[in-house]
Amino acid sequence: MKYIKQTVEEDIGFISINNPPLNILSKEVFEEIYQCAKDFSSNQQVRAIVITAEGQVFAAGADIKQIKDVSDTVEGEKMCLEAHKVHDILWESNKPTIAMINGLCVGGGNELVMCCHFRIASDKARFGQPEIMLGIIPGLGGTQKLPRFVGVSKALELLLTGDVISAADAKLYGLVNMVIPETQLKRQTVGFAKKMTSKSGIAVAKILECVRRGIEMPLKDALKLEAKGFGFMMTQEDKKEGVQAFIEKRQPKFKS
C-alpha cells in the first residue's frame, strides 16, 4: 500500500490514511481504502474496523486536480460510482466500522466517515462539506447521508453555506457519536470497539443487517425483517451459550 497503513491490533483492524500533508483522497487512496476494508472483512481475526489518518489532518477532501481534469457527465458519474465502493464495503460490513477522526475532516473526508457505522472525534476535529465553494456538489453521499444524520434543515445549511463546524457542534447535531480529548482518542476508540468485539459476532452482524436494511423500509416491513432475524438467532449456538451464561451468572463464551 502506498497511501494507507494497514495494521491489526488484537481483534481490531486499523486503516490509516497516509497521504501527507493533507491526506487528500485521490482515486488511488480510495482504491487502497477499499482493498484494506475488503481484506479486513474476510479476516477472521478482525472483529471491528477502524479508519483513521496519520498526522494532524484526517482528510481535507478529494483530489481537486483529478476533479479539474473531468469535463463530461459520464466521466464525472463514473468517478463517483467508483468511490461508492468504499461506502458499500464500510456501511454494509457485518463488522462494526468506526471512524477515528483526528483532525480536519471536510468534503470527501466527511463523506468517508459517514460511510462508517460510528464516528469518534478528537476535540480538535472539524467537519464540513465545502463543495459549494468550488461550484460543485458532493459525490460520495454528502447530500444523502448528511440529512440522515443531522436532519434536512441542518444538512442543507451546511451543504449550501460550506461552513466548517467544530467537533462539539458535530456531536450536538448528531454527526459524531462522541468527542474525545486528542490525547485519549485512540485509547477510548479501542475501548469502544472492544465493547462490541467481545459480543457474539453473528448477533452483531444480524443487528447491523437489520438496522441497515430496516431504515430503508416501511416500519411494518422492517418489523418483519427483525422478526425473521430474531428467529434465525434462535438456532445459533451463541444464543444457547448467552442464555445459559445469564442463568449461571457468568460471562458468556461466544463461538462466533
Query: In a structure prediction context, what are the per-residue pLDDT tens digits for the chain, which is 256 residues long?
Result: 899 999 999 999 999 999 999 999 999 999 999 999 999 999 999 999 999 999 999 999 999 999 998 989 999 999 999 999 999 999 999 999 999 999 999 999 999 999 999 999 999 999 999 999 999 999 999 999 999 999 999 999 999 999 999 999 999 999 999 999 999 999 999 999 999 999 999 999 999 999 999 999 999 999 999 999 999 999 999 999 999 999 999 999 999 9
In this prediction, residue 117 carries a pLDDT of: 98
Note the pLDDT of residue 21: 96
Pick the CATH number of 4-197 from 3.40.640.10, 3.40.190.10, 3.50.50.60, 3.90.226.10: 3.90.226.10
Q: Say whether 82 is catalytic.
A: no
| C-alpha–C-alpha distance, residues 109 and 127, integer Å | 9
**Nearest residue to 98 (alpha-carbon basis) of 74, 114, 111:** 114
Q: Which member of 9, 10, 75, 111 is catalytic? A: 111
Cβ contact 165:125 at 8 Å: no
Residues of the chain within CATH 3.90.226.10 domain(s) are 4-197
Which of 9, 131, 237, 248 is catalytic? The answer is 131
The whole-number pLDDT of residue 82 equals 92
Please indicate whether residue 157 is annotated as part of the active site: no
Instruction: Return the closest-CA partner of residue 79 out of 142, 139, 144, 2.
Output: 139
What confidence score (pLDDT) does residue 13 get?
98
Q: In what order do the strands lie in the sheet with 118-122?
A: 4-9, 12-17, 48-53, 97-101, 118-122, 178-180
Residue 196 vs residues 6, 189, 223: alpha-carbon distances, Å:
21, 11, 24
CATH number of the domain at 201-248, please?
A: 1.10.12.10
CATH 1.10.12.10 residue ranges of the chain are 201-248
What pLDDT is stored for residue 101 in this prediction?
Answer: 98
Quick one: pLDDT at residue 217? 97
User: How is 32-69 classified by DSSP, letter by letter?
Assistant: HHHHHHHHHHH-TT--EEEEEESSSEEE--B-HHHHHT
pLDDT computed for residue 163 by the predictor: 98
Tell me the residue type at 114: M
What's the confidence (pLDDT) of residue 57? 97
Predicted local distance difference test score (pLDDT) of residue 165: 98
